Structure 1
Amino acid sequence: MDDAYDKGAYDEDADARQGPEGPEGASGTRPVRTGDPAEPVGPPPSAPRTGVAALSPRYQVGAALALALVAVAACVHLGMVFLSLAPANTVTKQHGKAIEEWVYPEFEQNWKLFAPNPLQQNIAVQVRADVLAQDGTTTTTGWNDLSAQDGKAIDGSLLPSHTVQNELRRAWDFFVTTHGTDNRPIGLRGSLSEQYLRRIVVMRMYEGDATSEKGTIERVQVRSSTTNVPPPDWSGEKVSDTPVYRVLPWWTVTPDEANGGVR
């Protein structure tokens, strides 16, 4: 019985091949089995698209154009900065004005970090203003030490603002390098440096001076206070600790600045 049962056991493969008209069917083809978990029913689902690929074709084109514009602008900017630092050449001689207008004053670079004789002086920029009050009277403010205000804002800060650290200092350096000791401009960038420095000090006076906040600034005067850094005790060097002032002439504030254009 066991042998008979084994020989006559249900043959699943044979039954699957049995068609309506014979073991292989009338057409001689093998029927397709369905429902078998071992055989995939269809192609596996594709992974969802991410990033730019997930956008529609129209937006993909827009993103590509935006990236191309950013890349071109970055290359142009780096090229302009490089040419502003490079020695005089044919390009700078022909397009020097365009390069200066692009770089100065916001993107100016220099080599002072690698100077063999670093600065040994503390330079503070101070400003006072003539303020027209609402009753028609004019008041001259005291000297406001803007550099001291920046130093106070930086002191103890783990992440000090780049603007607080460098805006006023770089503006003063820009002015000094484009003016002689008589405070007269040298070259084409002199007037630009005056305008840049004036706008900064007017803005700072409107923000931090009580008298300026209540009226309209008509004129400003800027000065620098230079003090030698004390040498270490072991050096034996003696330097003066008396500040030296460089006082600039009064500058008339333009109407757009006086009316709050730079507030």
Structure 2
Amino acid sequence: MDAYDKGSNARPVPGEPEAAVPDSRPPEGQETSDGHETADDHGTPDSHGPPVGQTPSARIPQQYGDQQEQPYEGQQYGGQHDDERYDDTALAGPPLPPPPAGIAALSLPYQIAAALALAVVAVAACVHVGMVFLHVAPSNTVTKQHGQAIDEWIYPEFEQNWKLFAPNPLQQNIAVQVRADVRAADGEIRTTRWYDLSALDGVAIDGNLLPSHTQQNELRRAWDFFVATHDNANRPNGLRGALSEKYLRRIVVLRLDREQAGGRGAVVQQVQVRSRTTNVPPPKWSQEQVSDKPIVRQLPWWPVSEADRAAGTRPGEPTGTEASAR
């Protein structure tokens, strides 16, 4: 009995040679049992049967040795669905966290030091903002009770000036001038000429692309500070009057020493300050009429103490020029 007598799915008997599957196709040119003649172009794309030389068994899915077709999407694969397939990224584990940065990257002692420094800066910033707010705010209970402490914090470095945003800005040229009684090297007391300190600042600023804040504003702000704290008779009208007078006096003494007023080695004994104010002329197309006559405000003589002199300008000490020559 042949190996395939019992059907096309019967397995061959072990030990016996595999029998060929009989070709049930009639020879070429013969009619089949249904009366149709077989085609002469077997194996062409239009033929309905298998190509020439290929048995029908080749169309049967192979069961041994060959790989099966890949399962289509949604088909179970190895007992699991598509969404349960093996993920090789699971072996890598979760991504590593980024390395610490900023203060966290420092050691514990440095972290503590940095935190303390930031806390000090934050407290100082809050105090400064609070002081400035109380200074520019309208008069209230806090400013009346702690006004002196607020003024000591603000003046003169953090003084607030809103003239830039005023509806009527300054339209005057103010020149601050000073002269002094000096004791010369031979012991004689002499009175110097008037030094126009504002004009000297203007010469230093002219042509300078990056002038310093001191050259532009120190003298001008000192004079504004004095005028705001004194009446027309040059009497102080508050606690800041004495401070503004001392501030202006020290500036003019330093400037006189820089100009070597009275000659080399001369010591300033007393100073006198005055201002010369002139109106800025209006443009030619304007019909506004302003006076061109200067207004002079002259202050009394101020004695100069040892505290008013800068280091190197006190009696018995070499000046800056002499010290550099040495």
* TM-score over 0.5 (shorter chain): yes
Structure 1 residue corresponding to 2:260, chosen from 189, 197, 209: 209
Q: How does 1:69-84 map to 2 (within 5 A)?
A: 69-84=120-135
Is contact 2:219-2:251 (8 Å) kept?
yes
**Pair 212,241 (structure 1): closer, same or farther in 2 beyond 3 Å:** farther
The 1-side partners of 2:109 and 2:250 are apart by 44
The 2-side partners of 1:181 and 1:135 are apart by 39
Q: 1:79 deviation in Å?
A: 0.9
Q: 1:121 deviation in Å?
A: 0.8
**Pair 209,95 (structure 1): closer, same or farther in 2 beyond 3 Å:** same
2:295 corresponding residue in structure 1: 244
Q: How does 1:189-200 map to 2 (within 5 A)?
A: 189-200=240-251
Three-state SS of the structure 2 residue aligned to 1:183 is coil
1:23 corresponding residue in structure 2: none
2:231 corresponding residue in structure 1: 180
AA in 1 matched with 2:287? G
Q: Percent identity?
A: 68
1:133 corresponding residue in structure 2: 184
- CA displacement 1:36-80 (0-9 Å, x = unmatched): xxx99xx99x86x66544443212211221121111111111110
The yes-or-no answer on 1:226 pairing with 2:280 is no
Taking structure 1 as the reference length, the TM-score comes to 0.77
The 1-side partners of 2:310 and 2:220 are apart by 25
The yes-or-no answer on 1:148 pairing with 2:199 is yes
The 1-side partners of 2:207 and 2:262 are apart by 29
Is contact 1:129-1:217 (8 Å) kept?
yes
- CA displacement 1:100-157 (0-9 Å, x = unmatched): 1111222111322222222211001111111112221112111111111112222222
AA in 1 matched with 2:169? P
AA in 1 matched with 2:109? R
**Pair 183,203 (structure 1): closer, same or farther in 2 beyond 3 Å:** same
The 2-side partners of 1:76 and 1:259 are apart by 31
Q: How many residues are paired up?
A: 223
**Pair 56,135 (structure 1): closer, same or farther in 2 beyond 3 Å:** farther
Is contact 2:175-2:275 (8 Å) kept?
yes
Whose RCO is larger (CA < 8 A, sep 6+)?
Answer: 1
**Pair 212,59 (structure 1): closer, same or farther in 2 beyond 3 Å:** farther
Q: 1:209 deviation in Å?
A: 3.4
Is contact 1:221-1:251 (8 Å) kept?
yes
**Pair 62,107 (structure 1): closer, same or farther in 2 beyond 3 Å:** same
Structure 1 residue corresponding to 2:175, chosen from 115, 124, 136: 124
Three-state SS of the structure 2 residue aligned to 1:119 is coil
Gaps spanning 5+ residues in structure 1: where? 1-6, 8-38
Q: 1:210 deviation in Å?
A: 4.5
Is contact 1:206-1:212 (8 Å) kept?
no
The 1-side partners of 2:237 and 2:204 are apart by 33
What is the aligned-residue RMSD (CA, Å)? 2.5
2:24 corresponding residue in structure 1: none
**Pair 204,213 (structure 1): closer, same or farther in 2 beyond 3 Å:** farther
Question: 4+ residue runs of structure 1 moved beyond 6 angstroms?
Answer: none
Flag the structure with higher helix content.
1
The 1-side partners of 2:157 and 2:137 are apart by 18
The 2-side partners of 1:77 and 1:170 are apart by 21
1:106 corresponding residue in structure 2: 157
Taking structure 2 as the reference length, the TM-score comes to 0.63
